Structure 1
Amino acid sequence: MTDYPCVPNQSQRHDSGLFRRFREGFRSLFIDRFSLLGLFVGVYLGVNAITRTLLMILSASQVDFGLTQVGAIYGVGLFFDGITAFYFIIPVVLYFILVPDRVFRHRFHLPVVHLFFFVGVYVLCYGVVAEWLFWDEFGKRFNFIAVDYLVYTTEVIGNIMESYPVYPLLAGLLVPSSLIYFFCARSRVFRDALTAPCHLKHRAATGFMCLMIPVVCFLGVDSSRVRVSDNAFNNELAKNGLYELFAAFRNNDLDYATFYDGRDTTAMLTRLREMVATDNSEFISESPEDITRRVVNPGDEKRLNIMLVTIESMSAEYMGIFGNGSGLTPNLDRLAQGGLFFDNFYATGTRSVRGLEALTLSTVPTAGRSIVKRPGNEGMFSLGYLFKERGYDTKWVYGGYGYFDNMNYYYGNNGFSVVDRTDMSAGEKTFANIWGVCDGDLFNRSLKEADASWAAGKPFMNFVFTTSNHRPYTYPEGKIDIPVKTGRAGGVKYTDYAVGEFMKAAREKPWFDDTLFVFVADHCGSSAGKTSLPLRKYEIPLILYSPKTIEPARISKLCSQIDVAPTLLALLNWDYDSKFLGRNILTMKPDEERAFVGTYQKLGYLKGDRLTVLLPKGGSETYVYDRVTKKQVRTGVRDADLTDAISYYQSASWLYKNGMTRRIKGEPGWGA
């Protein structure tokens, strides 16, 4: 009997010598049950190569197509596809090791193998469609956004169902899946794999080798090796979507000290105090660990109501006042012309929770998850508490279900009362999709809340967050001239229409003359670009409108969302103790202008026309940005900018981790 029982060709038992043993040992890798895995891995690599090609075609205008560049995309891509394939088949490897021959080759087991092979192929084809849709929305392979979305299956699945012809797509996938399956099932490799004996000793040895590959890769390979170009699209194409999904899950919470270049903590905190200091503030402590300072704004304190409207995905590029000629935002454009309009203003991130975090806490985007989603985020030094302590009604008004992204918990524990979709009666909800009631219904409820505060004799601070400018872009019929579900333009125009109706109704209210309206986006409509942090994809509007109290002006100072809270408080002439990292935009000196942009991993500091980006695993990169042409070119680092970037981000992380950004010492989580 041969020593290689997995070889079914018994005529070879008469061969002799080392060559026979080598030949049979080599062939045994391809004609036993494990050859099914080899066949499936081959299919997986082929499907991923097709996916990569389709995504490349979709973004052809953004990709660098040099021979070396394309070769690197496919070469590195093949490497990560192979690694991912071995991760993917771990459960099957374990199954193949443990199932005895008499069971595996039993006639009742064979249909099970066929079924699972077909299901595996179908899942691969489904992955192609999923990656295409994700790329079309975000211009990236699966990343931390996909990880976050996995937590909120109701909203995400609902959004998919309302946005795409899901059932026809799923049915259509049966065609390529069946073709691939039948081609494989009819192959000799597949047939022999189901009949060839495979003893436990061989199964254990082969399975061990298959399992060691992902173990070694887990320890020695990470996403940082994917960089093949200065072009972010090329780098994204080289990635494997499934690998990036799990990498994002592992790195969803990044400790600055572990993953980024750091310097002496005391020196960085001292530098931060220098950068947040202003002529009208004084630190209450000499300790570099305490950034609390007393801010004194001249003039009589004003008790204006605040209606802070955060608009979903309102990129600057959609607005006429920024040069868009499509006529999508006539109402917002008029408000910008009649108020303080900031035209050099940047979102801190690419997710709603980043914008909400910056607007309420006036902090830079720390690495990993937003503070909105972190445990122990109660009792932060927030805009809500400052207004609440002065007797304001402070309300978070949201048209969706506020459990999404932990928003209700965050606002409810940081100075606001919560009003979301669940608090609205059936009569208040004239139209809704999976993300929430339409913006018209949301604004009507916001007016109702303002009326209630006014009737009670209390000033109000309402933080309103819209949802209509979000896929699937559905809204009430007959309001605008763009049909529903036809794309972003419809979402933008309907939101602008709702803003116009909102302001028309507000002007009739007794509290209108004493109200400051703030219109700002949470982030841009898209964050994809050729560079890691494409600045043109972070430009958003900020409008402060109060015709009785504010003179119209256009302000071009470089600033970002963390500067909104200090600017509002300055307009109200409030004196207060501050732990904010932002500044009053109106009194910024030229050398104090800067902005902060980031993803959950990359942390950007924009000073003048130079963007310094801090990278996970250490290191940095620097770009020069031309706002007119929107071109962003790699350049050498400037030490002063790098020091300031590290100072802001390292210090912000340290202050949060050590409880120094909480409202009162002793609040939940202090020092945690």
Structure 2
Amino acid sequence: MWNKVFPKRFELLKAYILIFISLAFILRFCLTFWYYPQIDASLFVLIKTFLIGFLFDVGTVSFFALPYAIYLLIIPKKLHGSVFDRIITYIGYSLGLLIFLFSFFAEITFWEEFERRFNFIAVDYLIYTYEVVKNINESYPIPLLLGAIFFVLFIVMLITKKANIFKKTFNNETVFKQKLIPTILIILTSAIFALFIKNEDAEQFNNRYNNELAKTGIYSFFAAFRSNELSYTEFYNTIDEDKAFAKVKQKLTAPNSEFLQPNERQIFRTITHSDSLQPAQKPNVIFICIESLSASYLNSLGSELKITPTLDSLSNKSLFFTNLYATGTRTVRGMEAITLSIPPTPGRSIVKRDNNTNLFTIGEVFNQQGYERNFFYGGDGYFDNMNTYFGGNGFNIIDRGRGFLLDSDIKTKRTNIDDDEVSFENAWGVCDEDIYSKVIKEADEAYLTETPFFNFVMTTSNHRPFTYPENKIDIPSGTSREGAIKYTDYAIGNFLKQAQKKPWFNNTVFVIMADHCASSAGRWNLNIDKYRIPAMIFNLENAAPQKIEKLSSQIDMFPTLFALLNWDYSSNLFGLDIMKMKKADERAFIGNYRNLGLLKDQKLMILSDQHVVNYYEWETDNDNLIPKPIDTNLLEETISFYQVADYLYRNNGLKLIK
């Protein structure tokens, strides 16, 4: 039967399909063995996982087999085995195998970092080849990996030749009618997967790891390439637009705020603190956004690693927020939450979307108070569209540029970190000590002008390949994330020691918070404990050190600071003053590019695409989610926040008021 479907002329194509399916099975088996404790390993679920995976493997390989199948169909019998036929066949077979082998090796490294099949992150990284290629080169033994790929390619080619598969393909009497059957079968398989099968159809399990194992990496990659953005109104539950705005406004209402146009679909309002007993303060503000720092790494938040002595010490001298959560899992998502003070919207971050300039950000609040705004990044801010976003929203750019210019319509200035200011550099930019040295240099110059400044500093050292200057800490560079975290902590301590010697230090507030956790991977689509991050406000005048245990979100940090500074300002921000939160106000927004969650009172409501809703009770002791009947009130509140956030972005409701 198998030989009737695939006649001799299709012998090589048959081998090609079998090789891909075999390699895909081996990879799936290895990932299953690697993460066996995390998956649902009951027999039925495991069989179903591999069966779905097999079907996606078949669908994926059909796309690659299609061009050669059509070629085999249309080439007449008299050209079988000709020089032209041999050249096309050898090149096509070698190239196809090389793509498969490279993708399988790449999947292993991607899984090691994100514990997922290829997704939109892999697609995004195609744009930034310099950083990605350099990071891979610094993180992995590239010559060894490439050598292994080509060695396997050579072995497969040799086995193919020894098995006389090339000979059977070139020397045969297969007629057009015989070639029609396998070609139609491959065309139909490709058409079914192209038109009717979505990558999300593999997600048939409660356990996230099983969902990922059931997918095929290449198929997932192209699925992410096609759907890098999701329409909220098309894919998620909605309610009446006016009702959604009414609910959000109710949650944002405070005695000291007044909506400018209460009957319109917007949340612009004035916030006043004029009646405060304390006068308004205008200190310099330096915000340190730490790359990938989970709360679980700090001893002051429960760790036993002892790798963050500086931050642990600062936690006792600061307003220390012990129950605060990041909104997402990537740096640009953290930047979006911090600067726009907005719940995450589905798909890619607003930082990377079109129409993301001239928005009302926290930078505008500083602008209202007469501050100069600066964005510091140790790499090239072209990466992840950071320069366009920050520059287009009023920030001056200080980065390690490689020649890319700001868009012509961006009027802010750009300052380069020069070679003589760099002591250490890797794929992601200069080390944290170097970026802090640049911050101090720019602060010294700003002090002379007597203009208050707000510096947004994005660190990079706590990022794979985890390399940093030698002889700074007792963990060798490039060996582990723990070493990178300890160096990150060391660099902050060194920075503060240098800053304390400066005349501007006493009038400078330091806000420290992570952009996201080191990893978001776990059994669930949203693993709550993988979103908890450290956050603190240090050196604020008249603010006694204390621990704030209220459940809060990354979007609340700067509205809280503005309240502590007693500022009157106009606002388009979703964030609340954590210090004045009532128990009923405590909540955290957490999400990824497809799942949007609202955490409140140990309950988690999750909105997913395809109009799926899940509701859980969170068991904190084991970080477990127990399914519960839907709470309709919390569901409407969750929908309202995410629907309004999406509406405002898509209808220019986040723009500055002219």
Normalised by the size of structure 2, how large is the TM-score?
0.94
Q: Is the 8 A contact 2:80 2:172 kept in 1?
A: no
Structure 1 position 142 matched with structure 2 position 135: no
CA contact (8 A) 1:138 1:526 kept: yes
In 2, Cα distance between equivalents of 1:400 and 1:208? 51
Q: Distance in 1 between matches of 2:621 and 2:443?
A: 41
Map of 1:158 onto structure 2: 134
Deviation per CA, 1:406-448, whole angstroms, max 9, x where unpaired?
0001000112111101301211111100100000000010111
Aligned counterpart, 1:191:
167
Give 2:655's aligned residue: 662
> 1:379-418 to 2 correspondence within 5 Å?
379-418=358-397
Q: Match for 1:304 among 276, 283, 293?
A: 283
Q: What's the offset of the Cα at 1:560?
A: 1.1
CA drift of 1:107 comes to 4.0
SS of residue paired to 1:624: strand
CA distance in 2, matches of 1:663, 1:157: 38
Which residue, out of 471, 479, 484, partners 1:478?
471
Note if contact 2:431-2:460 (Cα within 8 Å) is conserved in structure 1.
yes
Indicate how the Cα distance of structure 1 residues 439 and 201 shifts in structure 2: closer, same or farther if over 3 A, else same: same
Q: CA deviation at 1:177?
A: 3.0
Spell out the pairing of 1:13-28 with structure 2 (5 A cutoff).
27-28=3-4
Cα distance change on mapping 1:156 and 1:277 into 2, 3 Å: same
| AA of the residue aligned to 2:245 | L
CA–CA separation in structure 1 for the residues paired with 2:14 and 2:175: 18
1:113 corresponds to which of 89, 94, 109: 89
Q: Which amino acid aligns with 1:581?
A: F
Counterpart Cα distance in 2 of 1:129 and 1:634: 37
Distance change >3 Å, CA 44–CA 627, structure 1 → 2: same
Structure 1 residue aligned with 2:618? 625
Question: Hey, what's the Cα distance between the residues in 1 that align with 2:337 and 2:291?
Answer: 15
**Does residue 40 of structure 1 match 2:19?**
no
Query: Equivalent residue for 1:506?
Result: 499
**Given residue 329 of structure 2, which amino acid in structure 1 is its aligned partner?**
T
**TM superposition shift of 1:548:** 3.8
Q: Does 1:279 align with 2:258?
A: no
| Superposed counterparts of 1:304-323, under 5 Å | 304-323=283-302
**CA offset at residue 502 of structure 1?**
0.3
Q: Distance in 1 between matches of 2:510 and 2:290?
A: 13
Tell me if the contact between 2:101 and 2:149 (Cα under 8 Å) persists in the aligned partners. yes
The 3-state SS of whatever aligns with 2:519 is coil
**Structure 1 position 98, deviation (Å):** 4.2
Q: Is residue 651 of structure 1 aligned with residue 630 of structure 2?
A: no
Q: Distance in 2 between matches of 1:146 and 1:315?
A: 22
Residue 387 of structure 1 deviates from its aligned partner by 1.0
Structure 2: how far apart are the matches of 1:555 and 1:102? Answer: 81
Taking a change above 3 Å as real, the CA distance of residues 339 and 254 of structure 1, as seen in their structure-2 partners, is same
2:347 to 361, 368, 381: 368
Q: Distance in 1 between the 2:388 and 2:617 partners?
A: 40
Look up the SS of the partner of 2:604 in the other structure.
Answer: strand
Structure 2 contact 293–534 (Cα < 8 Å) conserved: yes
1:263 to 239, 248, 253: 239
Q: Could you tell me how far 1:519 is from its partner in structure 2? A: 0.6
- 1:561 corresponds to which letter in structure 2? Q
Whether 1:251 and 2:251 are equivalent positions in the alignment is no
Counting only pairs closer than 5 Å after superposition, residues 267-666 of structure 1 correspond to structure 2 as 267-297=243-273, 298=276, 299-422=278-401, 423-546=416-539, 548-665=541-658
- 1:316-366 Cα deviation digits (max 9, x unpaired): 111111122221100011111110111111111111000001110001110
Q: Report the Cα distance in structure 2 between the residues aligned to 1:222 and 1:352, rounded to whole angstroms.
A: 28
In 2: Cα distance, 1:140 partner to 1:62 partner: 13
Residues 574 and 359 of structure 1: CA distance in aligned 2, closer, same or farther (over 3 Å)? same
Distance 1:353 1:170 in 2: 31
Q: Is the 8 A contact 2:7 2:174 kept in 1?
A: no
- 1:78-131 per-residue CA deviation (whole Å, 9 max, x = no partner) reads 011111111222332343344444444214532552343234233323222211
Query: Which deviates further from its counterpart, 436-445 or 85-94?
Result: 85-94
Shift of the alpha carbon at 1:33?
A: 3.1
Given candidates 204, 209, 212, the residue that maps to 2:188 is 212
Change (3 A) 1:191 1:459: same
Contact 2:365/2:570, CA 8 A, preserved across alignment = no
In 2, the alpha carbon distance for the partners of 1:292 and 1:344 equals: 28
Aligned AA (1:250): R
Distance in 1 between residues matched to 2:183 and 2:511, nearest whole Å: 62
Structure 1 residue 238, shift from structure 2 partner? 0.9
- Compute the displacement of 1:245 (Å): 0.9
Deviations 1:585-625 (A, max 9, x none): 11111000110111111111111111111111111112222
Alignment check: 8 A CA contact 1:382 1:415 kept: no
Paired letter, 1:378: T
Alignment pair present for 1:96 and 2:89 = no
Identity among equivalent pairs (%):
40
CA distances 1:543-594 after superposition (whole Å, capped 9, x unpaired)? 1101543210001111111111211111111111111111111111100011
Using the alignment, how far apart are the partners of 2:192 and 2:378 within structure 1? 47
CA shift, 1:28, in A, is 4.8
- State the AA in 2 paired with 1:75: L
In structure 2, the partner of 1:20 is none
Cα drift, residue 147 of structure 1: 1.0
CA displacement 1:445-475 (0-9 Å, x = unmatched) = 0111111111111001000000000000111
SS at match of 2:456: strand
Asked whether the 8 Å contact 2:64–2:96 carries over to 1, the reply is no
* 5+ residue gaps, structure 2: 402-415
**Which residue matches 2:410?**
none
Question: Is there any run of 5+ residues in structure 1 with no aligned partner, and where?
Answer: 1-22, 666-672
Cα deviation, 1:494-530, whole Å, max 9, x if unaligned, reads 1101000000011111111111101100111111100
1:89 match: secondary structure:
helix
1:78 equivalenced with 2:33 (yes/no) = no
Matched, 1:30 2:9: no
Contact 1:31–1:192 (Cα < 8 Å) also in 2: no
Task: Encode CA deviations 1:290-322: one digit per residue, 9 max, x unaligned.
Answer: 211111123421111100000000111111111
Which consecutive aligned stretches of 4+ in structure 1 deviate over 6 angstroms post-superposition?
Answer: none
Partner of 2:407: none
